[in-house]
Amino acid sequence: MTSFSSEEAARLRPLVDPRSIAVYGASADLTRLGGMPVALLTERGFQGAIYPINPKYTEIAGLRCYPDIASLPVPADLIVIAVAAPEVVGVMRQAAARGIRAAVVFAAGFAEANDVEGLALQAELVEVARELGIVVAGPNCMGFGNLDSHAYSTFTAIFRTVEPPAEPRDTGLVTQSGSICSAIYAAGRQLGVRFNVVINTGNEACVEFSEYLEYLADRPGTETIVGYIEGLRDGARFERVATRLRDEGRLLALLKAGETEKGALAAASHTAALAGSGAVYRAMFERLCVVPAHDILHAADVAYLGRFRQRASGSRVAVLTISGAIGALLADAFTQSGIDLPELSAPVREALREGIPRFGMVHNPVDFTGNIVNRHQFAAQALETLFASGEVDFAVIYAPGFLIDRMSEGLAAVSKVSGRLVAAISTGKVASREMLEAAGVPVFDDTTRAVRALASLAHWHENRRRHVGRLRTTRPANLEVVAREIVSEARRDGEQTIDEHRAKRLMAEFGLPVARERVALTAPTAVEAAQAIGYPVVLKVLSADIAHKSDIGGVRLNLIDDGAVQTAFTSVLQSVTDRQPQARVTGVLVQKQEAAGTELLVGVVRDPVFGLMMTLGMGGVWTEVFGDVVHAPLPVTEEIATVLVRRLKGWPLLEGLRGSEQVNMTLLVKAIACVSDAACALGGDLDELEINPLIARADGVVAVDALVRLSLLPATVETVASLNETAAGQPA
């Protein structure tokens, strides 16, 4: 029996690894919900005690059937409750009275119904479970399949119709949908995926997805975990478990629904509207090296590749085929998946020519031509040449099944010696498949599925190189003190949104270059400020109540003399009075008119699941029309900022495309990291932060506007300190 050391894991052990199982509502019809668990337990050879409970029967499937829970000879580890929703809580009370402390609830009609009755039933279930100390899976769940012990607490027939895997079983499956759970299991078994535990979480009334994920991660022998989610509630636990799997080199792949869900439509900053749910999950998955599955078959394919994850891979692939046309198709597919086919160097091409006729391609993709049928040993030689060159990270070879069989010994030998991933794609049955897989060579029979899965594994390797074990540099303590003082000022003045001048003071303390500016309360002092700063200047209304000043006429640009400043002072205040009279105005801001450059948006918002998330985008029409933005969880280091900037569609403009000014990348990424530092220091006090625009030029960067919105309630000193400590220790 599997054993665990932590109390958290021990809480779920009766659910996932029960030694004895009672089935309340058991049926003599083994195809019904109450009959299927009994059928699976008896037919698949569960070695623990099985207790059917139903007063209608004295025997089911050769087992004694008990009339009620109180009649059980001993408390079972787990009770499967197969009755209608209104009856569930009563059964839970009976189970607790008999000493049972874990339950799987099949019934639907709870919160997922989204009506008064269903919500009330689930609230009662949660309260009673807490009161009785019972851990409950579901409700509205398919149940579990433990392939190690054959402890089945499920009504799905998939475990009867699909043969369970042999040892070693190394892959966990956990999903928020029963149907998808069955589909991934079936697709994975067709590929030979060796599942150990299959979990459907249901409504997660008492146990959230990430807790199951943690249990699987703790389970000895689990090397790969695949799953399906619609959303998470415990982002901190998920991040902790995924980080652990990432750093230990174990593969986690998740199929996420709702990728097109939009973020908040009405927000004080552009950032909040741009950082939608799908974008946040994608950013977190990348940082945590979670492989994003595109569909059910892709999830199964990635689970299959989990067995081969220790073979070296990366962003450069060599494609070897017997057909120029297939080579071209594979080249297109890999390129579209973000994997490069580097052109091979002259020495490598010359070496390949030894076995490839002049009409065959040697640049990459490589076309052996039909000549390889007579010289199948050359495939291994070609691979040795490619890997020795260091010009590619992994290789894919495409050939008919009979030819793969002829090549198999050579492919296996190269795989073992090189340590690199070699994958085979065949158009027919490969008799040597098991031998190849044992040697570390995965075998596919579909080009599209092969490319998607292999590209995902390659990106997983690249992400791990970037993120594993890299900690963020600790911030100087005095900067957090300054941030705290500015927050205290705003809290004292009753401001949730810090006014622009204070926001820029805060950002400047963290090293972000900001435009020169002064606060003026009268027209004459505005003129004095402009003279001191030097013309031309910008004049803006200063109000914590006005997030977007230009929308209400609160900004005047390119003021070139004293008269223009005086006129602007009067007209700006009048515009605010006319269009937003309730706003508290604390003066005007006189600011240096900065030279033109490339405008960017750098913002941070608090995601309800994962916490602080950064959005980086090209400013102006690039953000508004083209949505040219990228996202990353904090902290964002200069190294990560460099990666983010280069992902922008407008990146060529920053490099000086067609006469545009090439920006100072060193100072730009430093500025982005400064925004991250400020957000991390604010910790629990921060709701939103936005620099828009940040102007980037060859001579540096400058923030000309800043917005900082605080959380509704001030964080305690202890909470903020804890958040800062966590942020400082997060992997970059």
CATH code for position 528:
3.30.1490.20
- 394 and 461 fall within a common domain: yes
Q: In this structure, are residues 705 and 692 in contact, taking their beta carbons and an 8 Å threshold?
A: yes
CA triplet 137, 140, 146: central angle to 5 degrees? 45
CATH code for position 60:
3.40.50.720
The CA-atom distances, in angstroms, between 228 and each of 148, 180, 296, 347 are: 22, 7, 9, 47
- 607 and 582 fall within a common domain: no
If phi > 0 it is left, if psi is from -120 to 50 it is alpha, else beta; for residue 440 that is left
Element (H, E) at 411: helix 401-418
- Better pLDDT: 170 or 659: 170
Q: Which residues contact 403 (CB under 8 A, 6 or more apart)?
A: 322, 372, 373, 376
Helix (H, G, I), strand (E, B) or coil at 457: helix
Q: What are phi and psi of 506, to 5 degrees?
A: -60, -50
- Residue 469: what pLDDT? 76
The stretch 103-126 carries a mean pLDDT of 95
- 577 and 689 fall within a common domain: no
- Integer Cα distance of 105 and 79 in angstroms: 9
* DSSP assignment of 585-612: ---EEEEE-PPP-EEEEEEEEEETTTEE
Exposure on the CB side of residue 162, measured as CA atoms within 13 A: 21
- Residue 472: what pLDDT? 47
In one-letter notation, the amino acid at residue 599 is: E
- Better pLDDT: 78 or 484: 78
Task: Give the percent of the chain with pLDDT over 70.
Answer: 91
- Residue 278: what pLDDT? 82
- 32 and 114 fall within a common domain: yes
User: Token pair for residue 173?
Assistant: 């499956």
- Integer Cα distance of 583 and 522 in angstroms: 18
- Better pLDDT: 713 or 653: 653
End of a domain among 299, 331, 347? 299
Query: Is 491 among the domain residues?
Result: no
End of a domain among 427, 449, 467? 467
- Residue 719: what pLDDT? 39
- 315 and 261 fall within a common domain: no
Query: Is 686 among the domain residues?
Result: yes
- Residue 622: what pLDDT? 65
CATH code for position 673:
3.30.470.20
- Residue 460: what pLDDT? 98
Determine which of 7-21, 164-178, 303-317, 396-410 has the lowest per-residue pLDDT on average: 7-21
Helices 235-247 and 209-218: crossing angle in degrees, nearest 10, is 30
- Residue 492: what pLDDT? 86
- Residue 233 DSSP class: S
Q: Is the pLDDT of residue 90 over 70?
A: yes
Query: Is 477 among the domain residues?
Result: no
**Which tens digits make up the pLDDT trace of 565-601?**
999 999 999 999 999 999 999 999 999 999 999 999 9
**Which tens digits make up the pLDDT trace of 503-513?**
999 999 999 99
- 246 and 366 fall within a common domain: no
- 2 and 53 fall within a common domain: yes
- Integer Cα distance of 406 and 377 in angstroms: 8
Q: What is the pTM of this model?
A: 0.89
* DSSP assignment of 42-85: HHTT--SEEEEE-TT-SEETTEE-BSSGGG-SS--SEEEE-S-G
Average pLDDT, the chain: 90
Domain tally, the chain: 5
Q: Is the pLDDT of residue 716 over 60?
A: no
Confidence of residue 548 (pLDDT cuts 50, 70, 90): confident
- 60 and 129 fall within a common domain: yes
The CA-atom distances, in angstroms, between 180 and each of 184, 192, 364, 453, 498 are: 6, 18, 38, 19, 47
Give the closest residue to 681 by CA, choosing from 507, 494, 515: 507
Query: Is 720 among the domain residues?
Result: yes
Query: Is 152 among the domain residues?
Result: no
Q: Is the pLDDT of residue 724 over 70?
A: no
Structural domain boundaries enclosing 74: 1-141
Query: Is 683 among the domain residues?
Result: yes
Query: Would you tell me how many other CB atoms lie within 10 Å of the CB of residue 649?
Result: 14
The CA-atom distances, in angstroms, between 18 and each of 10, 15, 50, 207 are: 11, 6, 11, 17
CATH code for position 412:
3.40.50.261
- 329 and 456 fall within a common domain: yes
- Residue 275: what pLDDT? 46
Confidence of residue 235 (pLDDT cuts 50, 70, 90): very high
Q: In this structure, are residues 171 and 223 in contact, taking their beta carbons and an 8 Å threshold?
A: yes
- 199 and 224 fall within a common domain: yes
Query: Is 657 among the domain residues?
Result: yes
Query: Is 438 among the domain residues?
Result: yes
- 530 and 632 fall within a common domain: no
Helices 378-389 and 346-353: crossing angle in degrees, nearest 10, is 170
- 124 and 19 fall within a common domain: yes
* DSSP assignment of 84-116: -GGGHHHHHHHHHHTT--EEEE----SGGG-SH
End of a domain among 299, 319, 345? 299
- Residue 473: what pLDDT? 52
**Which tens digits make up the pLDDT trace of 440-489?**
999 999 999 999 999 999 999 999 998 997 654 555 556 677 778 888 88
The CA-atom distances, in angstroms, between 635 and each of 3, 236, 504, 644, 676 are: 36, 15, 20, 13, 6
Element (H, E) at 291: strand 290-293
Q: Is the pLDDT of residue 34 over 90?
A: yes
**Which tens digits make up the pLDDT trace of 591-640?**
999 999 999 999 999 998 999 999 999 986 666 667 789 999 999 999 99
- Residue 478: what pLDDT? 65
Task: Give the percent of the chain with pLDDT over 90.
Answer: 80
